Amino acid sequence: MSVEQQGSADRLQEDVEELASDLRSGLQPRSVAALLRLSDVLSRTETLGALAEQVPEVARAALDADHAAVGLSEPDGDHLQYLDPDGLPEDPPRPGRQVPLAVPSPVADAVRTRRPVVFARLADAVHAHPTSRDELVAAGLETTAHVPLVTAGSVVGVLDVAWREPRPLGRLEHDVMQALGGFIAQAVARIQMIEQRRSSAETLQRSLLTHLPVVDGLELSARYVPAAYGEEVGGDWYDVVRLPDGSAACVIGDVAGHDMAAAAAMGQVRGLLRAFAVDRDEGPGDLVHRLERAMVSLDLDVLVTLVVLRAEPLAAAEPPAAAEAGPGSGFRLRWTNAGHPPPLLLRPDGSTELLETEPELLIGLLTGSTRSDHDLDLPAGATVLLYTDGLVERRGRSLTDGIEELRDVLSRLAGKGLDELLDELVVALVGAHPDDDCALLAIRGGGGSSR
C-alpha cells in the first residue's frame, strides 16, 4: 500500500473509531464492538471481494439486522452489481446479480436521490414500488433501508440493511446507517483507486513481456503471475531472443520494487538486454557487464537480479563442447547469475539438479564486479526452469526451504508438457492469492515450439 493510500486508510479508521466513541452511550456493546471491527476491516481491505465478504456481517452486527448487502455501481451507470447478498432467502438478489437502475425500485430511488430510502413495513415498500412486489414479498423482510454510498459527488453503490420483523428506527439507527454508508463509500473509492493503479501497472508490465519466439530444437513456455493485492505489480520479467546462429538468449529477472516505477525500469533494462543480445556474439557474463555500464551511463539507478542463459545448438558450440556432449544432447547452455535464485534442471526421469554457482552480486550495487559464465550440456527431453523469487519466497519461510519445495513439486511433474508443468507449478506454489508477482520460463531440449 502506498503512503497516500495508507494515510487514507488511517484516516478512515480514525473516523469510524470516533463514531463508535460518540455513540457508545446509545448503542449496545456488541454494536460498538462491530463498529470498531469495521474500522479495522475498512482500513485493511484491498479488494472489493474481501469488502463484500466482511462488511455485510459487520453491518448486521452494528445494527442488529437480519440482512446486509453491498451493491456497487457498474461502469455504465445503469446497473448495480450485488457482491454478497448475505442473509436473504433464495429469490432475492444472489451473488453477481445486476439490478437495473432504470426500473423503479427502492435501490434505484436511493441511487437517484442520493438519500437513504427507508420503509418501516413491507406494505409501505410494495405500495411505493408495486412493480417490485413479487421480489419484495419473496425476500420476507419487513423493515428495509437502502443507503447510497456517495463519495466525491458520485454514487459508487448502495448498502442494504433489513430486518425480518418490524423494527422502529430512531435517530441513532439512522445516524449509524448514514455513517456506515459514508465509511464504506470511502473504502470502495480507495479500493477502486488501488485496483485501477494495479491494473495500469499490470497492463504496462504485460505489454513488455514478449511473445516467445520459435527456436528450432527447443520448447519454450513462460508464465507471469501478478500479485493479488494492492499495487504489487512491478519488476519481474522473462524474455527470449532468437539469435542469428540459431541460439536463444533467455532471461529471467527482477527489478527491485512493486509499483509503476519498477515496471517502467524493468522495461528499460529489458530493452537494453535485447539490444545487446543481438548486437554482438558474446557470452552471458560479457553481456551483463555491458548492461551494467550502460545503466550507469543512463543514470538507471535500480537494483536488478537476473539470470542470462544462452542455449546454443551443438553445431554452433565450440568443438570441445560438441565432442563431449554425446548423442542426443541437442543444446549447450551457458549462463551467468547476478544475485538471482539458481536455475533448476529437471531430467526426464524426474531427478532434479540445482544449478548453483559461486554467488555474484546483483546489478546496481558495484559496477565492474565479476561476471562468470557456466556451462552445461542439456540432455534431450530435460527441462531448465528459470523463475523469480515470488515463486518460492513466503513470509516465515527461508528461500532455501522454498527452493526445496519447488524441487519436490517439479520432480513429480516430470513427463508433463511445458504448459501443463508451469500451470501446475503455479497452482501448487503460488495459489490463488499470491503476495508477490512472479515470472517463470521453462526451456526443454528436443522440441521447437513456444507458449
3-state helix/strand/coil string of the chain: CCHHHHHHHHHHHHHHHHHHHHHCCCCCHHHHHHHHHHHHHHHHCCCHHHHHHHHHHHHHHHHCCCEEEEEEECCCCCEEEECCCECCCCCCCCCCCEEECCCCCHHHHHHHHCCCEEECCHHHHHHHCHHHHHHHHHHCCCEEEEEEEEECCEEEEEEEEEECCCCCCCHHHHHHHHHHHHHHHHHHHHHHHHHHHHHHHHHHHHHHCCCCCCCCEEEEEEEEECCCCCCCCCEEEEEEEECCCCCEEEEEEEECCCCHHHHHHHHHHHHHHHHHHHHCCCCHHHHHHHHHHHHHHCCCCCCEEEEEEEEEECCCCCHHHHHHHCCCCCEEEEEEEECCCCCEEECCCCCEEECCCCCCCCECCCCCCCCCCEEEEECCCCEEEEECHHHCCECCECHHHHHHHHHHHHHHCCCCCHHHHHHHHHHHHCCCCCCCCEEEEEEEEEECEEC
pLDDT tens digits for range 150-191? 988 889 999 999 999 999 998 888 888 888 888 889 888 888
Q: Is the dihedral of CA 169, 172, 176, 181 positive or negative?
A: positive
Do 229 and 189 lie in one domain? The reply is: no
Do 250 and 330 lie in one domain? The reply is: yes
Taking every pair of Cα atoms in the chain, the longest distance, rounded to a whole number of angstroms, is: 91
Do 402 and 351 lie in one domain? The reply is: yes
Please state the domain count of the chain. 2
Nearest to 272 by CA among 316, 248, 234, 304: 304
Do 222 and 92 lie in one domain? The reply is: no
**Pairing outcome for strands 143-151 and 117-119:** antiparallel
Report the distance separating Cα 227 and Cα 409, nearest Å: 21
| 180 within some domain | yes
Report the distance separating Cα 350 and Cα 352, nearest Å: 6
Last residue of a domain, one of 137, 169, 198: 198
Last residue of a domain, one of 175, 198, 221: 198
Q: C-alpha grid cell for residue 153?
A: 459527488
| 338 within some domain | yes
What strands, in cross-sheet order, belong to the sheet with 98-100?
A: 98-100, 79-82, 67-73, 154-163, 143-151, 117-119
CATH label of the domain that carries residue 237: 3.60.40.10
Report the distance separating Cα 278 and Cα 213, nearest Å: 14
CATH label of the domain that carries residue 126: 3.30.450.40
What does the pLDDT profile of the chain (451 residues) look like in tens digits?
454 444 455 555 555 555 545 555 555 566 667 677 777 777 777 788 778 778 888 888 888 899 999 998 888 889 888 865 444 433 444 445 788 899 889 999 999 999 999 999 999 999 999 988 888 888 889 999 999 999 888 899 999 999 999 999 988 888 888 888 888 898 888 888 887 777 776 777 677 777 899 999 999 999 998 876 555 556 899 999 999 999 999 999 999 987 778 888 998 999 999 999 999 899 999 999 999 999 999 999 999 999 999 999 986 555 544 444 444 447 999 999 999 999 999 999 999 999 999 989 999 987 777 899 999 999 889 999 999 999 998 888 889 999 999 999 999 999 999 999 999 999 999 876 677 889 999 999 875 556 6
- CA torsion angle for 408, 410, 412, 418 (degrees, to 10)? 170
What strands, in cross-sheet order, belong to the sheet with 217-225?
A: 352-354, 344-346, 383-387, 438-447, 217-225, 449-450
Do 336 and 215 lie in one domain? The reply is: yes
Do 101 and 30 lie in one domain? The reply is: yes
Q: C-alpha grid cell for residue 398?
A: 527461508
Report the distance separating Cα 394 and Cα 52, nearest Å: 27
Residue type, 59: A
- The reported pLDDT for the residue numbered 322 is 41
Do 192 and 222 lie in one domain? The reply is: no
* Chain position carrying cell 462488511: 55
| 71 within some domain | yes
Nearest to 147 by CA among 202, 203, 106: 106
| 304 within some domain | yes
Q: Cβ of 407: how many Cβ atoms within 10 Å? A: 18
Burial label, 76 (beta-carbon count in 10 A; 0-12, 13-18, 19+): exposed
Do 181 and 223 lie in one domain? The reply is: no
Nearest to 149 by CA among 206, 83, 231, 228: 83
| 329 within some domain | yes
Do 172 and 275 lie in one domain? The reply is: no
| 203 within some domain | no
pLDDT tens digits for range 55-95? 888 888 888 899 999 998 888 889 888 865 444 433 444 44
Last residue of a domain, one of 166, 198, 230: 198
Range of the domain at 351: 209-450
Do 159 and 213 lie in one domain? The reply is: no
Report the distance separating Cα 255 and Cα 233, nearest Å: 11
Do 132 and 217 lie in one domain? The reply is: no
Do 222 and 357 lie in one domain? The reply is: yes
Report the distance separating Cα 263 and Cα 253, nearest Å: 12
| 346 within some domain | yes
CB under 8 Å to 313, separation ≥6 — which residues? Answer: 216, 217, 245, 246, 247, 330, 331
Q: Cβ of 100: how many Cβ atoms within 10 Å? A: 12
| 204 within some domain | no
- The reported pLDDT for the residue numbered 317 is 54
